[in-house]
Amino acid sequence: MEAPPDNDVLWARALHFTHRDRTPGLNGVSLGVRDGEILAVGGPRGSGKTTLLRCLSGMLSPTKGEVWFNSTPVHTMGPLSRERLRRERFAWIDPEPGLVPELTVWENAALPLMLRGMGRRKARERAVDWLERLDVGAFARKTPLQLNQAQRQRVAIARALAPSPTVLFADEPTAPLHRADRVHVLRTLMTAARSHDITVVLATGDLEAAALADRVVHLLDGRRVSNAQLPPAAGTEGRASCSLSV
């Protein structure tokens, strides 16, 4: 087993993943994510973006291939070690905010901090600080159902960023939002991540979103492809080009 290059925080080699019903999810994907980079994983629906993020974050074990986090091989870890790695170093944002309706906005944002053992008062301060950065500080005492969808998604982003994860995995984080909200929320997320040196791996089928990233890699049918190989509807380029899979 050869360890990844030093400047890659995440590194995957020849990842394959087959779902339980034998649907192929990934078919030999290799990539490196540099420390502090915002990397977009683009591609049409069903191309394997979510599956790739789940394998990189240790949520799924690849059927074949390697995943490294710094110099730690994630693919050989047992379920408990992977769970701890995810809890302590990674954060995840889904298309839906998934907030707890019975808790206030600040309690939702503070939840991961309190689950890590931080006292309620300190967790509250940190959570409110992040809510303010994401322009939803005024709603701290409200409950999620009193907010609109874009505001709730900002709360989910504050909750993900508050523990200062090393890597944030964002799976179509702005998919349910209106176009104007999408770009705004994404820009806020990226600015916040950049200012805290948080590496971001963003899955998105939205070319406008992908163009905000430092680099874009494209998937098609579970493989890495150059954008020239994408079907016409998805064939426009983001801010940076990508290479053929190896």
Judged by the rule CB under 6 A, the positions of this chain that interact with ligand ATP are 19, 21, 23, 25, 43, 45-51, 203, 205
Least Å from the CB of residue 202 to ligand ATP: 12
In whole angstroms, the minimum distance from the beta carbon of 145 to ligand ATP comes to 26
CB of 241 to ligand ATP, least distance (A): 20
**Rounded distance between C-alpha atoms, residue 32 and residue 132, angstroms:** 33
What angle, rounded to 10 degrees, do the helices at 105-115 and 120-133 form?
A: 120
Residue with structure tokens 């104007």? 180
Whichever of 52 and 212 has its CB closer to ligand ATP, that residue is: 52
* Residues counted in the chain: 246
When the beta carbons of 48 and 163 are compared against ligand ATP, the nearer one is 48
Closest CB to ligand ATP among 16 and 142?
A: 16
User: Smallest distance from the beta carbon of 94 to ligand ATP, in angstroms?
Assistant: 11
Residue 96: name the closest of 28, 134, 153, 135 by CA. 153
Strand partners of residue 32: 11
Instruction: Give, in order, the Cα–Cα distances in Å from 72 to each of 45, 66, 84, 226.
Output: 31, 11, 13, 29
The nearest distance, CB 102 to ligand ATP, in angstroms, is 29
Q: Could you tell me the smallest distance in angstroms from the CB atom of residue 18 to ligand ATP?
A: 9
Q: Which is nearer to ligand ATP, 88 or 221 (CB)?
A: 221
**Nearer to ligand ATP by C-beta: 140 or 186?**
186
Half-sphere exposure of 175 (CA within 13 A, CB side): 14
> Which one, 36 or 44, has the nearer CB to ligand ATP?
44
Ramachandran bin of 14, using left for φ above 0, alpha for ψ from -120 to 50, beta for the remaining angles:
left
